Structures are given as C-alpha cells and as structure tokens.
Amino acid sequence: MALDRKPAPNDLNAFWMPFTANRQFKKTPRMFVAAKDMHYTTADGRQVLDGTAGLWCCNAGHCRPKITEAIQKQAAELDYAPAFQMGHPVAFELANRLIEIAPKGIEHAFFTNSGSESVDTALKIALAYHRVRGEASRTRLIGRERGYHGVGFGGISVGGIVNNRRFFGTALGGVDHLPHTHMKENFFSKGQPEHGANLADDLERLVALHGAETIAAVIVEPMAGSTGVLLPPKGYLEKLRAITKKHGILLIFDEVITGFGRLGSAFAAQHFNVLPDMMTTAKGLTNGVIPMGAVLTTAEIHDAFMSGPDHAIELFHGYTYSGNPVASAAGIGTLDTYKDEGLFERAAELAPYWESALHSLKGTRNVIDIRNMGLIGAVELEPIAGEPTKRAFNAFLKAYDKGILIRTTGDIIAMSPPLIISKGQIDQLVGTLKDVLDTLE
Ligand SMILES: Cc1ncc(COP(=O)(O)O)c(C=O)c1O
C-alpha cells in the first residue's frame, strides 16, 4: 500500500505535545516538513530562518551531510549492541573525542539519552561518589532559583521554575536553592554583567544552615538558558568553585545548552575558565539529530568507584541506549562538522556583531532588558498588565508568520541561532524582530 505522505495529518488529537499550548496549536498548527542549513520549510512551503537552533541543539545547522551520512552508514552496519557488559567501538571513539575537546581535568564520559537523564545521572553519581568514599551523610543537593535542569524528578527538584515543580508533589527531599543571578542593576549589560558575584556567598549561608557534611553537590547552568538567558556576574562562578571546594562539595555545570560552541568555546567551563567536577551535556552533542547526552567527569570522581572485586559492577546505573551505536555515530559526525568548519571559533568571531545587532533593539517598544553572550541573547519585554507571557507569545506567533523562529519563556524572547549563521542573517533576524515588536500591542 502506498504511504500517505500528506505533510499535515488531518487529526492532531492523538499526539499530546510537550511544553505546548496544545489547544492553541491544534487550532492553528505550525508544522515544519523539511530543514536545510539555517532554514526550516513549513507545511505551506515558506522558509523560516532558524533563530533558535531548533531547541538550542542544532548548533551546526540542519541536515548537515557528515552527520546524515554517519547515521546512515552506522544504521546499516551495527544498529544496536547491548549497552551493559558489551561494547562497540563507536561509543569508545566518541567518548575519546569528547574528552579531547573537554577542559583539561575532565577524563570520562557516561552516556545518556537526553539532558534530563544527564542531570539525573550526574546527581546520582554525586551521591554515590560520597558514599563510596565513606561520606554517606552527604545527601543534600543544591540547585538555583530559575535554574532549568530538565524534567526528571532530580532535575525538577534542583531546578527553580515554579510551574515545573508545583504540579508534581514534593519531588526529591533534602534539596535547597541558591538565589538566581538576574538583577535590575545589570539590565542592558553587554556580555558578562558587573554586579552580583556576591550572590555565590549564599552558599556559605546554606552550609551554615545545613552543615557541609550533609551537602553532596551544587548544580548550576554556567549561563541559565531556558529561563531566559540569565548570565553569571563577573567573578560569580569562580566564587562558587572556591566555596564548593573549601567544603568538599561537588560542583556540577549543566552545559546542556552552553556545551558545543554556544559561547565560542567547546564548553562554558573553558569560556569562564572554571573547572567543575562534572558537566552534563546533550543537545549539541549530536546536533539534536539523534537523542543523546553525556555526563563528563574528572578522574577523581570516576576512580573513586574503581575498587572492589574486578568482576563487580561499579555503578548501578545506565540506560538501554547508553552509547547507542547510531547516536554515537551522529555524535562523531557532529564533532567532525564542528571541527572541520571551525564552528566554535566562528561563534566567538561573530559574537561582537551579534552583540551590537541585538543591543540595537534598545529603545524598541516594550523592551525592558537585552542581554547577550557568545551566540545567545535575550530581549525581555514589559508584560501586558494582568496577562503575563502573552506579549512574548504574540511576538513569537507574529515572528513565525514573518519568517523567523524565536523562542519565548515568560515575557522573554530568547535567540540562539546555529553557529553557521551569517551576518546578513543576523541582520534579518534582528530586523524582523524589530518589525514585530514595533507593531505589537
Ligand atoms: C540546562 C538544561 N539542562 C537540561 C535540559 C533538559 O534536556 P532534555 O530536554 O534533553 O531532557 C535542558 C533543556 O533545555 C537544559 O537547557
């Protein structure tokens, strides 16, 4: 029987869409049917400029040949191998390639299938690390207000977004939060803001409150992405590192968005020159094409588990698809693309142009803050009185109609284009956004 290849199915009811206004979407669907480089093609044949790298993940742009070919070849050669007690060369190769580009001191990769799984994996490794070293009292986990660490129970517990937490019971116990780093004093900062390094001192307050011997780890996004591009003030991450170290607390950087070139180096840890004990990654690891994540750790973390009899499993954790051959091949194709095209360096080179384009929106109607770093930026809007989130959502819909894809969270517009974007396309993205804002209620 011939396949029905109609681009838009006539019944949209069965698919319960994630983080989506389902009823609104299904009344006026927005469907992509193809993508190439910087553009999506809609079901009605329009080209839409990708201002968000999909969901912060397609850092090399779309349908890139090396990635597509690597996936096709791998799927035809070795489609799957058991992830437990068996191996295949592709996952080992990818792990080595990751360590090659990771900050010095990071030496091991544990594979997962998403950012959420990377976060839960890192939190579990942190708890287990202290236990295998005889410090089982370290069970408390510290996150940060307005942090996003995915949607697993661990991730929503350390995360700091009220709607992601309030519907789901008490989540994990024994969790506390640092204050977020978004301050009025820093509005319209270009790059890293000046004020707020002292917000890291709040960790000393939590240590005094709970006792350092009860705290396993602190997890933060080095630059918070999903909650609207909240930048770390100058000196903040360095302070956090010093305080965690002083008290024997592990520091986890959630690099699911900042990893793979977004800030102009492979990882934010290198950009800020602060070495965490673990880094969580996903998204840009495979250019978003195949689901995959990885937790990267120091030798100290990994080696703490390598005791006991040789035949014994050291860490009781893993996924059926950890290091899946096709995902690993996609990862290698992706890293090859970043390297061959010098995309991390390209992001660093384009960052000043991106910064001035974005800040040219200062003074535009309803814009109350603009912030940027690397190839990421946010434009914050004054909310409509009594109707928070509506103004930005309207901007998103209008922008889509005008041929650009942006992303909104609350009344914040976030943009993080693929690192292959040209200067002309930056102008188009920012110029169209200005048109949208000028004509919006
Ligand atoms: C910092 C951070 N951590 C974790 C996640 C969760 O990733 P996933 O949606 O792949 O589970 C995200 C997703 O946006 C993220 O930005």
Three-class SS of the chain: CCCCCCCCCCCCCCCCCCCCCHHHHHHCCCCEEEEEECEEEECCCCEEEECCHHHHCCCCCECCHHHHHHHHHHHHHCCCCCCCCCCCHHHHHHHHHHHHHCCCCEEEEEEECCHHHHHHHHHHHHHHHHHHCCCCCCCEEEEECCCCCCCCHHHHHHCCCHHHHCCCCCCCCCEEEECCCCCHHHCCCCCCCCCCHHHHHHHHHHHHHHCHHHEEEEEECCCECCCCCECCCCCHHHHHHHHHHHCCCEEEEECCCCCCCCCCCCCHHHHHCCCCCEEEECHHHCCCCCCCEEEEEEHHHHHHCCCCCCCCCCCCCCCCCCCCHHHHHHHHHHHHHHHHCCHHHHHHHHHHHHHHHHHCCCCCCCEEEEEEECCEEEEEECCECCECCHHHHHHHHHHHHCCEECEEECCEEEECCCCCCCHHHHHHHHHHHHHHHHCCC
Ligand 1 centre to CA of 166 (Å) is 19
pLDDT digits 0-9 by tens, 292-301: 999 999 999 9
Average pLDDT over residues 43-67: 97
Ligand 1 centre to CA of 310 (Å) is 35
For the cut 90, the answer to whether the pLDDT of residue 5 exceeds it is no
Residue 369 has a pLDDT of 98
Ligand 1 centre to CA of 148 (Å) is 7
Average pLDDT over residues 250-264: 98
Share of the chain above pLDDT 90, in %: 96
Ligand 1 centre to CA of 155 (Å) is 9
As for ligand 1, residues whose beta carbon falls within 6 Å of it are 114-116, 119, 148-150, 221, 225-226, 254, 256-257, 282
For the cut 60, the answer to whether the pLDDT of residue 251 exceeds it is yes
Candidates 283, 295, 407: which one to mutate for ligand 1, based on the most atoms within 8 Å of Cβ?
A: 283
pLDDT digits 0-9 by tens, 168-218: 998 899 999 999 999 999 999 999 999 999 999 999 999 999 999 999 999
Candidates 19, 59, 112, 116: which one to mutate for ligand 1, based on the most atoms within 8 Å of Cβ?
A: 116
CATH for 67-340 is: 3.40.640.10
Residue 102 has a pLDDT of 98
Nearest protein CA to atom 7 of ligand 1, as residue: 115
Candidates 112, 180, 219, 226: which one to mutate for ligand 1, based on the most atoms within 8 Å of Cβ?
A: 226
Q: What is the mean pLDDT of the chain?
A: 96
Structure tokens at 369: 């803050």
Residue 122 to residue 115: CA distance in whole angstroms: 10
For the cut 50, the answer to whether the pLDDT of residue 253 exceeds it is yes
pLDDT digits 0-9 by tens, 82-92: 999 999 999 99
pLDDT digits 0-9 by tens, 156-165: 999 999 999 9
Q: Where in the chain is the domain with CATH 3.90.1150.10?
A: 22-60+342-438
At the topology level, CATH places domain 22-60+342-438 in: Aspartate Aminotransferase, domain 1 (3.90.1150)
Ligand 1 centre to CA of 364 (Å) is 31
What pTM value is reported for the model? 0.97
pLDDT digits 0-9 by tens, 211-240: 999 999 999 999 999 999 999 999 999 999
Residue 8 has a pLDDT of 63
Residue 4 has a pLDDT of 47
Q: Where in the chain is the domain with CATH 3.40.640.10?
A: 67-340
> Could you give the maximum distance between any two Cα atoms of the chain, in Å?
69
Average pLDDT over residues 336-350: 98
For the cut 60, the answer to whether the pLDDT of residue 66 exceeds it is yes
For the cut 90, the answer to whether the pLDDT of residue 10 exceeds it is no
Candidates 55, 156, 257: which one to mutate for ligand 1, based on the most atoms within 8 Å of Cβ?
A: 257
Q: Which atom of ligand 1 is nearest to the CA of 150?
A: 6
